[in-house]
Amino acid sequence: MESMHLTDIAANTSDPRSGLRAVASLRVLTERLELTQVEAALRAGMGWSDVAEALGVSRQAVHKKYSKKIDQTIPTPRRNR
């Protein structure tokens, strides 16, 4: 299902069952996109602190969430930037 269509369904309160399924699908899509962007940021030389700032979370939170999920061939910075 197309993401723009999903947002329409998620925002429509006339069918809560469909709306909730759409919200769940959007959550999965968002998590997948976020991981992709975290990997792109690390490849571009951004540090965990930079990624955390962009996401509005702590460095510890983003590192805990993604350090074991990212492509292990991506070189990660040893120090915060």
- Asked whether residue 78 is assigned to any structural domain, the reply reads no
- Asked whether residue 17 is assigned to any structural domain, the reply reads yes
Query: Is the pTM value of this prediction over 0.75?
Result: yes
Would you say residue 12 has pLDDT above 50?
Answer: yes
pLDDT band of 1, cuts 50, 70, 90? low
Contact present, 6 and 25 (Cβ < 8 Å)? yes
Tokens 């997948």, residue located: 32
Coil, helix or strand at residue 31: helix
pLDDT at 80: 44
Domain that holds residue 60: 3-66
Average of per-residue pLDDT values in the chain: 92
pLDDT band of 34, cuts 50, 70, 90? very high
In angstroms, what is the C-alpha Rg of the chain?
Answer: 16
- Asked whether residue 56 is assigned to any structural domain, the reply reads yes
Tens of pLDDT, residue by residue over 46-77, are 999 999 999 999 999 999 999 999 999 998 77
